[in-house]
Amino acid sequence: MSLLINPTTGAELDHSPASASLEEADAVIARAHDAFAAWRDVAPGERARLLRAFAAIVDAHIEELAQLEVLNAGHTIGNARWEAGNVRDCLNYYSAAPERLFGRQIPVPGGTDITFHEPLGVVGIIVPWNFPMPIAAWGFAPALAAGNTVVLKPAELTPLTAIRIGELAIEAGLPEGVLNVVPGKGSVVGERFVTHPLVRKVCFTGSTTVGKRIMAGCADQVKRVTLELGGKSANVIFADTDVPAAAASAPYAVFDNAGQDCCARSRILVQRSAYDEFVGRLETAVRALKVIDPADEQSEMGPMVSSGQRDAVQSYIDNAHIAFTGSAPDGPGWWLPPTVVESTDTSEAVWREEVFGPVVAVMPFDDEDEAVALANDSDYGLSGSIFTSDVSRALRVARRVEAGNLSVNSHSSVRYWTPFGGYKQSGLGRELGPDAPDAFTEEKNVFIAH
């Protein structure tokens, strides 16, 4: 039994799921494998209909799922509703894929050559605690659409919405064994996804350290793997931009979900001539941020997910030069105020490491070349923003910054219509976008002699 805690109050939750044993994990994997042949052979139009039915039943339970996430993960109610809606939207988007999983006819001499996309089999999806609902759907929606069956392990801290979504899949008419939710420890269930020969692919979202171990384990069976790992993204502010607008938007780029976001723009680079104005306006925006009970409709930032995560983040703050902070409730729960530090040394831990909390470091730069060099001076390369009124500069800098997802005059990182993934130690492979189902298939080539 995993003990679940409400991050807002520190109180124990009434319902905590059992943690699967190795034998139970094996039984679920076997069930998914047994269900695969029939699911693979479901007519494309019927598979599409079932995914749309799944989307519809999720839509009917948006508020229930959102309230569960507020309770279990401390997400603001507005964010939680969006996250549940993203599950629905991913299912609807990929419901079009079964009827459009096209192969090709390739011109060759002496015959006809055609290709097919065929499902892999059982796909293991390991989900983190920071965005339990969307990240699960980014894996299972395209995997199911491509004809695979899925075993999904939610994070130990935040399993409740995944369990409920698994129940809704059955209510929607998906056959037993097609989507299986297996709560449990990463060292037991997650590790078994890596070592079990019937699991043909692993999708993992989490820390770079754990991702490396998963990748090494999958190599033993030459098992496919998609990794979405850490980030230390830069928000690059040029002096020619609308500085008030850039400063007003910056807190939401890093303090959303209490900074527990791999895409958080946790390094802000500001051109020196605009630095003082930007930091002054940033202070006003940070102090105005509504850090209150996440169940409140006005809440803009909730608590951290656990006491351990709060303490880890506090250790970075204790060793940094704090410029200013926002507010946070007193009393129980895992609260930390949004915190801005000024950095002068790129070797500082708060500048280099993924803090994964409501902390942002700010540093000035002089010119475009220095901005790019500072942005790229990281082991990570997941996301980032560029604020400028010069379109040529925006494109030039975007092409030079080593990151998988960049936004100009925006902080948008994830759209289910477009590919998502990182450079360097931020990951391997891409999720989302129109090509995501292909990543859950083998491409078979067939030559027919004339």
Listed in sequence order, the residues at least 6 apart from 252 whose beta carbon sits closer than 8 Å to its beta carbon are 300, 411
In the block, tokens 């723009």 appear at 265
Nearest to 385 by CA among 232, 257, 237: 237
**Phi-psi map region of 331: left, alpha, beta (phi>0 left; psi -120 to 50 alpha):** left
Strands ordered across the beta sheet of 224-228 = 179-181, 149-153, 122-126, 199-205, 224-228, 427-428
Distance CA 169, CA 173 (A): 7
Phi, psi dihedrals of residue 254, rounded to the nearest 5°: -130, -30
228 belongs to the catalytic site: yes
262 belongs to the catalytic site: yes
User: Which is the catalytic residue, given 218, 262, 300, 431?
Assistant: 262
The token duo for 251 is 């807190």
Distance CA 2, CA 16 (A): 6
Q: What are the strands, taking DSSP E only, across 292-381?
A: 322-325, 339-342, 359-365, 380-381
Question: Which DSSP symbol is given to 100?
Answer: G
CA atoms in the 13 A half-sphere facing the CB of 140: 33
Packed helices 368-376 and 391-400: angle between N→C axes, nearest 10 degrees: 30
Count Cβ atoms below 10 Å from residue 252 Cβ, excluding itself. 14
The three-state secondary structure class of 228 is strand
Strand 405-408, strand 423-424: pairing: unpaired
User: Which is the catalytic residue, given 83, 191, 228, 431?
Assistant: 228
Q: Which residues are catalytic?
A: 228, 262
